[in-house]
Structure 1
Amino acid sequence: MRIQIYISVTVLILFQKSASEAVSRPPPPANVTIQCDNYGVEARWEYPDQSLDVHFFVEVTYSNGRQSETTQNLSLNISSMLSGPEYNRYFVTVRAERGGLKSDLCKSAIFSFNTKADSKIKCYLDFPEVELSPKDGKLHVQFTNPLHLYRNTPALRNLVEKLNYYIETEESKNSFTCEMKNEICESSIEFSEHRGVYCVTLTGGFEQRPLNPRSKCFEGDIRIYTSFTVYLYPVLGVALTLIFITAIIMLLAKKFNSEIKKNAITAFPKFLVFSPAPAGQCKVLKVETEIMNSKVKIEPVEDLHEQTTLIEMYSDEEQSSGDRDVGSGDLDNQCAYGPNMLDEDDEDDPGNLSNGYDSPHVNLSL
């Protein structure tokens, strides 16, 4: 009988103790979430009673170990607690502690940086901002190397691999690589025709750790146009060369011309050198006009003997001149004062003066 009483009292004490502990234990956290971005991983949770004496015990568990840390905040950056991010997957548990009493655990979803890992949350890095510009008739693509930009993120911790990425356009998809030593990654894309708007999409990653795609468009003209200076500089060069050569030729010609003049003067004998006479010894010829009578009267010759003599003299002159001509013809056709005309004059009356201008005449001064 006594044994039964002892058992009943013990059960009652234990029940009261457990009931009192249940009443005094802090409530567990709720809704534990994982926020992973380009610069780290953060665990967040909710708690109804945010009194000053409540602490939260945060524990990160992965395939081959676990790490924990305590905080009074409702969030904690767990980037430094992640080991082997290239292949591991993780989950986070959070519990509240107050006065030595601990609440129940609240667990998060499983997350990983490995695209092939069996996890609910995939933590991918964003592709860096991309700059597009025309260069040499192509579209030039440039961005900061993620290995330098996200150096402190757990996803790339201790990573020495190169970045493999792709640039996809409406025409093609091209692959490129960017070494860790390169702070800036650059590449160029060629288009078959002018579009006005050129759009590209960049994808890639580090083996099993992909980057979120990045799309961007460039509006403008990427074609090459020959600069005016391409033609200006050669033309200026040729012009300056010609001017320089012309100046040299002119200087040489001037020098040779002066030497030729000196040699020519010394080559002439002294008696050929003209020396002007003094002004007093130089006699200048003067041209004087002769006054003549402008009134001249022409009259026929009245002396028949004189007329006959003149005709005979004229006939002799005409005959001698006719003998010198090549292919000379009839003198009657060559001279108005030929023999035929004179014969006609002989038949006329010598005293008839109607043919005065057809007969020899002399000048008579008034």
Structure 2
Amino acid sequence: MLPDGAFTVLLLLVGGVSAVPVPPPRNVHVSCQNAKVSVSWDYSKQQPHTIFRINISGSSENWEVSRTTDHHFDLSHFVWKSEENYKDFLYVTVTAIQGDSQSEGVQSNSFSFNYLKTVDTQCSLDFPPVDVKEDESGATVSFPNPVHFYKELEQTVNPDAVPVFQYIVSSVKNHTAYIRQFEENCMERVDTCKLDVPFPDGVKKCVRLKGTLFDSNFVNQLVVRETAEICAHVSADQRTGLFTTCSNSWYRTSPHGSRRFPSHFYSEDHLLLLKLLTNVSAALKSALQNFLKTLKVSSAAGCFVELFQKTSLNHMEEPQDSRPNETIQKPN
């Protein structure tokens, strides 16, 4: 029989062996990809079966506990549960659990969709698809209201605090220089936001858009990222009118004009020609344009040159948005 002192030492030794510390997760990081928010972390594959507890919390005491065996977890369901959540100062704590033992919790970077919050990662949304239609005085810019375009956002709308989407349309010249900026508000009850933008004569009708979603008191702010350069396209009605005018001119002036070749024959031919023009390279377009200018039927040729320019100008040399789709990191 062991003396009391020796028995106590033996218990301490056994307890010390069984209480092996559980290593904590490493590199716990929250990232935002548009409306999707997720957390990920690193953990050694040599460890025994491990469960990870995820605590989501913020300054307003909103929190949720979940468990997973993966090394990542989708937080979107919690973030977009309410307006209070996505506009709050949020962070995640991940703890590794092995049997009855657990590691110390590791806290992630802080994040929020509220631009007024001081956080490590400022989340934002992509601007909804934009349509720019050319008209006589300039262009009409339209896009779905972000409040309704994003279902995650729509489900958080508080009837007592109606959000307002304030957006800026900048007319652009040579990809970078801003001609003018137009600021407009789009109310929550509106499904499609629209704005008429004037342009000087002879200028390629291109715009950039960015915006901010405010609550009714204009305090909490959700940023909607700036678009790439978007250029106007000619509406179907304008193309039809130009085709009719050009076809009639061609028929009246063409030396081959004959009752055997009614005007609609030329119209279909010209439609095919235009379709080809809008899908070839810029160099070939230039050659075809010069060829049209040399045609003997000068008035009709000039008409088709104008049509060609209106329909192809905004499709040539489209700039590419080289910015990575990443979250905005605020400087320390």
> TM-score category by the smaller chain?
0.5 to 0.7
SS of the counterpart of 2:65? Answer: strand
SS of the counterpart of 1:125? Answer: coil
CA RMSD of aligned residues (A): 3.1
| In structure 1, distance between residues paired with 2:44 and 2:129 | 40
One-letter code aligned to 1:126: D
| In structure 1, distance between residues paired with 2:75 and 2:144 | 26
Deviation at 1:137, TM superposition (A): 2.6
SS of the counterpart of 1:166? Answer: strand
Identity of aligned residues (%): 25
Q: Which of 191, 198, 204 in structure 1 is aligned with 2:205?
A: 198
1:189 paired with 2:197, answer yes
Deviation at 1:104, TM superposition (A): 2.2
| In structure 2, distance between residues paired with 1:157 and 1:11 | 60
1:67 paired with 2:75, answer no
| In structure 2, distance between residues paired with 1:177 and 1:68 | 39
SS of the counterpart of 1:35? Answer: strand
SS of the counterpart of 1:45? Answer: strand
| In structure 1, distance between residues paired with 2:111 and 2:5 | 50
One-letter code aligned to 1:75: H
Unaligned 5+ segments in structure 1 are 231-366
Instruction: Encode CA deviations 1:256-314: one digit per residue, 9 max, x unaligned.
Output: xxxxxxxxxxxxxxxxxxxxxxxxxxxxxxxxxxxxxxxxxxxxxxxxxxxxxxxxxxx
Q: Which of 151, 155, 163 in structure 1 is aligned with 2:165?
A: 163
Unaligned 5+ segments in structure 2 are 172-177, 215-220, 246-332
Do 2:134 and 2:205's aligned partners in 1 also have CA atoms closer than 8 Å?
A: no
- Which residue does the alignment assign to 2:24? 28
One-letter code aligned to 1:140: T
Larger Rg: 1
| In structure 2, distance between residues paired with 1:57 and 1:226 | 63
| In structure 1, distance between residues paired with 2:233 and 2:194 | 20
One-letter code aligned to 1:89: F
Instruction: Encode CA deviations 1:198-228: one digit per residue, 9 max, x unaligned.
Output: 3312111112111111132326779x89958
- Which residue does the alignment assign to 1:142? 142
**CA separation of 1:7 and 1:175: change in aligned 2, threshold 3 A:** farther
**CA separation of 1:9 and 1:129: change in aligned 2, threshold 3 A:** same
- Which residue does the alignment assign to 1:46? 42
Instruction: Encode CA deviations 1:34-65: one digit per residue, 9 max, x unaligned.
Output: 12233331111122127783211000111132
The aligned runs of 1:257-296 (5 Å cut-off) are none
1:215 paired with 2:228, answer yes
| In structure 1, distance between residues paired with 2:119 and 2:5 | 50
| In structure 2, distance between residues paired with 1:227 and 1:64 | 60
Q: Which of 27, 33, 36 in structure 2 is aligned with 1:37?
A: 33
